[in-house]
Amino acid sequence: FFWTSMFARSLCRSTFRVSQASALRYERAAPLIPQYQQQRNATSLKELKNRMNTIKTIQKITSSMNKLATSRLKAARERNEDLAQPFLEINMAFLKGNGMEEIVVGDEVPKTKPKELVIVVSTDRGMCGATNSGIIRNVKSLLLANRGESEYYLAIAGSKAASGLKRDFIKYYHTNVQELGKKKLSFVDVEPLITVLSEVTDYDRLRIVANQWESVVASRIVHRLLPNPKNMIDEMKESYYGYEYDNTEEAELFQNLQEHLTACIIYGCIIENQAVELAARMNSMDNATNNAGDMHNNLSLLYNRTRQAGITTELSEIIAGAASVQEQD
């Protein structure tokens, strides 16, 4: 045993020297580039079972969110019909065409003025389809198309639009108001957005960008334009021709009027946006629930096939072993 161990040690040392010499000899050779190939391994039953359980859990969550959005949508639609539409239609029609406009956004980019105060209405929560992404894309295209020609001030309602525009347009930020839809919205809750009108005075026009309700499965983006109180006298003088104002300066009167109109329009936009959000969440969560069900069915079929293949393999091995034992006997 002693001589055998000594012979093994000497053999290992000689092998190491040969390999070291070979490495020194070919150290200047071109490096080998590894060739990566796709590895297709059979999925184990445990991994499939874990994925099926995960997808089943996701399906339960999306189904619960769908039911919750469906139950809240009815009240949101009633508030939209009873509060939002009267606030928007009456106040926008009050002086429509005389400095106040409503533009339904299509593929074209709306024209801007040299200085604009832009109020963006979005949501604080996601999983509601293109409700927020459509608003973000539209505002981005507006700001990029007029970069260098116009100056903007951004006041944003909701955290989703704030986070989506923060990277490229942080220099335009002025105000970000969040959690407006956490509780039942009241007219007083829009006050932080109205105070922007008194803090920012050097602008030519106010632009409110929000979603407009069309149906449970459709919505569109609308720009509502209001003039600066300083320009109201010139742009709306025909509508106010012949009126007399008692003990009130025109500048203060139009400032109060624009603040009231803006508050009414923002209040209506936020209520309408809540209805759009819930409808989009209901549809998206319904689609997610159906997709999770399809994935679970496909994985269940794969799981059963894999399990049956394993059983068949084991039975084949047992039968082959029994047949070989019988042949030996």
Question: pLDDT tens across 34-91, in order?
Answer: 554 444 445 688 888 899 999 999 999 999 999 999 888 888 888 888 888 887 777 7
Number of domains in the chain: 1
What pLDDT sits at residue 38? Answer: 44
For residue 120, the cross-strand partners are 156, 209
Side by side, the strands of the sheet bearing 205-215 are: 101-104, 218-227, 205-215, 115-121, 151-157, 173-177
Average pLDDT over residues 291-316: 89
Higher-confidence position of 36 and 108? 108
Residue predicted with more confidence, 243 or 325: 325
Percent of the chain with pLDDT over 70: 76
Q: Is residue 16 part of a domain?
A: no
Q: Check pLDDT > 70 for residue 241.
A: no
Q: What is the CATH number of the domain that holds 134?
A: 3.40.1380.10
Lowest pLDDT segment from 24-33, 45-54, 278-287: 24-33
**Residue 139 covered by a domain:** yes
Residue range of the domain that includes 221: 83-239+251-281
Taking the model in full, what pTM does it have?
Answer: 0.73
Mean pLDDT on 166-182: 83
The verdict on residue 22 lying in a domain is: no
27: pLDDT strictly greater than 50? no
> Which of 98, 125, 74, 54 has the alpha carbon at shortest distance from 285?
125
pLDDT higher at 93 or 324: 324
Query: Would the pLDDT of 94 be above 70?
Result: no
**Does the residue 221 lie in any domain?**
yes
Residue 55 falls inside a structural domain:
no
pLDDT of residue 8: 47
Q: Mean pLDDT score of the chain, rounded to an integer?
A: 78
Query: Is residue 164 domain-resident?
Result: yes
With CA atoms as reference, report the closest residue to 131 among 17, 59, 214: 214
The answer to whether position 27 is within a domain reads: no
Does some domain include residue 56?
Answer: no
Mean pLDDT over 302-327 rounds to: 85
Average pLDDT over residues 213-218: 87
